[in-house]
Structure 1
Amino acid sequence: MSLPDLPDLDADVPEITAETLKSRLDDGEELMLLDTRPPAKHEEWRIDADSVTYVNRPYDNYLDGELTDELVAGLPDDEEFVVFCAKGHTSEFVAGKLRLAGYDAVALEDGMEGWARLYEYTELDTDFDGIVGQYYRPSSGCLAYLIVSDDEAAVVDPLRAFTDRYVTDAAEYGASIEYVIDTHVHADHISGLRELAAETGAKTVLSATAADRGVAYVVDVLVEDGDTITLGDADIKVIHTPGHTSGMTSLLVGDVLLTGDGLFTDSVARPDLEAGSEGATDAARTLYETIHERILPLSDGTRIAPAHTASATATSVDGTYTASLGELTAHMEALRYDRDSFVEYVLADMPPRPANYEEIIETNLGQTDVNDEEAFTLELGPNNCAAESTI
């Protein structure tokens, strides 16, 4: 899509990077954000933080004439605020017009696309004799993991957009990537499974059940419930945890359970992205059995490390988006429901399906090819893989 032609302004517009904005929000700084995208885009996907106040005013309101009281309503006249849009083009124009009128407006560099390129990494505090690191994408809540034992590494649920990052990080630990693992066929982002394996020579790993959905590429290692993946000096235990999808698979690494989309720290999975609305009830029943027969019997100290989070704030004292199983059973009421109540809860008021989810699934199955730019654009937006968008 081409960028709109905008009037030239004789204004020097400072820019703020996504990294700087995230750091300020993490520090709890209160900021006004002016979103110049259409209201539907603003409601669907924006920069989440407890300290943010929003004004949504599409850029075309600022194209003609002088700034009216309506166009500056709600904007601070004595402190800095951040203007953002989809790619940084229209927000720079709006910020420039506001600066000419005396407002301290700065533009978010590259807009929401710049925000979507932000990717953070934190090591988990765990009893695993090695490294388990968590990647966090603030724009969507997507989580991925780097496991290192001795001089070998595995990457779990990688995002294609960050392939080079995983290679660099593994090398910093002195490890080579031996396995690239997807816990399931993702519906909200383009998997980096094949790209990362091609770049490193690593083996691709997927559950046999997931592959049965119509994977159109060769998977090096098909795993089933109870299998073990040996990585360096460590064993990764495979646990089949269907419900969100038929092939959903969790990985037990020391005291850490990588649950994919089977169980989050703020909700449980939605059951309709594979079988559709007509199969959601049966999938929800399967999810109940998975949670109660395969996950809850684990020790309360087991660290639940999911593939997504709806929280903008780390949920663990070590700065990661994880929680102990004991903590989850204490605060997540859905884990205490009987089966019928659980199914009713999961099916009630589900959020919209992830944007472009059908095309994303086809791409992740290898049935459709897209280039890197197309892949990045397809996955922009919230993940919406939980039964509820907020808990």
Structure 2
Amino acid sequence: MEQVRSITAEELHRKMSSGEDLVILDVRNETDYNDWKIEGKNLRTMNIPYFHFLEEDVQVYAGLPKDAEIVIVCAKGGASHYVAEMLMEKGYNTCSLQGGMLAWSQFYHPTIVYMDDQLKLIQINRLAKGCLSYAVISDGKGMIIDPNKEIDVYIELAKTHQFEIEHVVDSHMHADHITGGPRLVKQVGATYYISSEEAKGTNLKFEPLDRYDRIKVGDVHVEVLSIPTPGHTPGSTSFLIDNRFLLSGDTIFVGGLGRPDLGGKAKEWAEDLYHTVFFKLKDLPDDCLVLPAHYADIQEINDRGVVGELLGKIRENNEIMRNVDKASFTEQVASAASMEKPPNFEEIVAINRGELQVDQERAIELEIGPNRCAVHHHG
């Protein structure tokens, strides 16, 4: 009998990007599917829980297409293999996602945002989490901004694009994913930067971002201005490159602003955010490209595969960014506290502060699920 084909997360992403006609059949239970699933533009996804296939009910197959490839997804790759086998016997063109959602949660995809003789800027998209990190490269040297847990991704990137990682920066103390920052600097011998406001009370070895108004990457032409942009957290910092690119951490998103309630001080931090939006960033030009650390909707990925938008467009489309009345802005933003918080965020923050050590298996488990750091999406 023919063997069931299985594909890796990377192969699945390639198929999704090339516009191949495929359908994702997710066989996890309905709650898990609704909470967190594989998404893509123009991607058809269906949810039929695994146990329906065990009941031998022919109705289960009624809505499944015969004219497209069906990629079957489960939590870790076991159940999907079994369902793929059943469908194959019935003549469907099918394959199983190797490692399931667990593998998808570990997949990172780099895209070049900008490149000239002096600067290369790469966005690394961790699609399952909506987490974005960046490599700023000049003259054979590089800075990694907001690295996620899998540090091999960045080491590999440095090899491919032939640069040495000199600086590693976290824009703030992340609550929805485990940072790779401290481990990456240890591995490559770089310097780790984070705001002292974020790292106070920890034993982290770091350079305080608040002492640097600029960091030079390799070539003298590329200077990264570090701008304190409190709001999402008190020590949140954004990075301005050449007055053209604002790497905004969790402060400004393509479709919203960073939620200020995770520290339990929603009102005070919302006031900080007001000051950041209407004073700190007000002189930045409209044609400055905002590149955030997260996105919450697949539609925010543009045709070039990049999550980013011109500041002028964000100011125009983002209702909250036009709300200059401080009291109602603060009220609107602080109400984010009623949103569901990122799962396991207290434990993740403790790991990022160096106060809690967990093994690889627990770390992966903690990160599973969507990110919930963005609020106030327009549309």
Q: Could you tell me the TM-score, scaled by structure 1's length? A: 0.89
Determine if the alignment matches structure 1 residue 132 to structure 2 residue 132: no
Any conservation in 2 of the 1:230–1:236 contact (CA below 8 Å)?
yes
The equivalent position to 2:57 in structure 1, one of 64, 67, 82, is: 67
Q: Does 1:237 align with 2:225?
A: yes
Unaligned stretches of 5+ residues in structure 2:
none
**For residues 313-364 of structure 1, what are the alpha-carbon distances to aligned partners after superposition, in whole Å with 9 as ceiling and x for unaligned?**
5645653211111121122222111333333433446542112111100000
8 Å contact from structure 1 (residues 244, 283) kept in 2: yes
* Equivalent of residue 330 in structure 2, options 340, 343, 356: 343
* Aligned equivalent of 1:216: 203
- Quick one: which amino acid aligns to residue 328 of structure 1? I
Q: Which residue of 2 aligns with 1:156?
A: 145
Matched, 1:44 2:35: yes
How much does 1:77 deviate? 3.8
Amino acid at match of 1:217: L
Tell me the residue number matched to 1:83: 72
Bigger drift between 105-114 and 125-134 goes to: 125-134
Distance of 2:77 and 2:298 partners within structure 1: 22
Give the aligned length. Answer: 374
1:286 aligns with 2:272: yes
Question: What are the superposed Cα offsets for residues 20-49 of structure 1, whole Å, 9 maximum, x if unpaired?
Answer: 322332244453322111111101100112
Q: 1:333 aligns with which of 297, 319, 323?
A: 319
Q: Which residue identity is paired with 1:345?
A: Q
Distance verdict in 2 for CA 1:222–1:37, change over 3 Å: same
CA offsets 1:126-169 (integer angstroms, 9 cap, x no match):
679322211111111110011112232111100121x1221222
Partner of 1:57: 48
Identify which of 22, 44, 60 aligns with 1:31: 22
Matched residues, percent identical? 36
Tell me the residue number matched to 1:3: none
CA contact (8 A) 1:236 1:251 kept: yes
Task: Tell me, in whole angstroms, the C-alpha distance in 1 between the residues paired with 2:376 and 2:164.
Answer: 38
Q: Distance in 2 between matches of 1:363 and 1:385?
A: 18
Q: 2:6 aligns with which of 6, 15, 22?
A: 15
Answer yes or no: is the 8 Å Cα contact 2:174–2:352 preserved in 1: yes
**CA positional deviation for 1:226:** 6.1
Which residue is equivalent to 2:291? 305
Q: Cα gap change, 1:173/1:95 in structure 2, threshold over 3 Å: closer, same or farther?
A: closer
1:197 to 185, 190, 213: 185
Cα–Cα, structure 1 residues 93 and 258, in superposed 2: closer, same or farther, change >3 Å? Answer: same
Distance 1:201 1:253, change over 3 A: same
Per the alignment, in what secondary structure is the counterpart of residue 160 of structure 1?
Answer: coil
Residue 85 to residue 333, structure 1, CA distance change in 2 (3 Å) = same
2:307 maps to what in 1? 321
Q: Alpha-carbon deviation of 1:186? A: 0.2
User: After the TM superposition, which of the residue ranges 123-132 and 80-89 deviates more from structure 2?
Assistant: 123-132
**TM-score normalised over the length of structure 2:** 0.91
- Give the secondary structure class of the aligned counterpart of 2:258: coil
Bigger Cα displacement from structure 2, 375-384 vs 316-325: 316-325
The separation in 2 between residues aligned to 1:78 and 1:126, in whole angstroms, is: 40
**Which residue identity lines up with residue 363 of structure 1 in the other structure?**
I
Which position in structure 2 is the counterpart of 1:384? 372
User: In structure 1, how many angstroms separate the alpha carbons of the residues matched to 2:214 and 2:322?
Assistant: 30
Residue of structure 2 equivalent to 1:268: 257
1:306 CA drift (Å)? 0.6
Answer yes or no: is the 8 Å Cα contact 1:261–1:308 preserved in 2.
yes
Report the CA distance shift for 1:390/1:293 in structure 2 as closer, same or farther (over 3 A): closer
When residues 225 and 305 of structure 1 are mapped into structure 2, their CA distance, relative to the original with a 3 A threshold, is farther
Contact 2:198–2:235 under 8 Å retained in 1? yes
Q: Does 1:114 align with 2:103?
A: yes
Equivalent-residue separation in structure 1 for 2:335 and 2:292 (angstroms): 22
Distance 2:66 2:156 in 1: 44
Once the two structures are overlaid, the 10-residue window that deviates more, 344-353 or 321-330, is 344-353
Q: Which stretches of structure 1, 4 residues or longer, exceed 6 Å deviation after superposition? A: none
Which residue of the partner structure matches residue 207 of structure 1?
Answer: 195
Helix, strand or coil for the counterpart of 2:332?
A: helix
Change (3 A) 1:35 1:172: closer
Deviation at 1:236, TM superposition (A): 1.6
- Residues 340 and 126 (structure 1 numbering): CA distance in 2 closer, same or farther, change over 3 Å? farther
Compute the displacement of 1:73 (Å): 3.6
CA contact (8 A) 1:267 1:332 kept: yes
Are 1:123 and 2:109 matched, yes or no? no
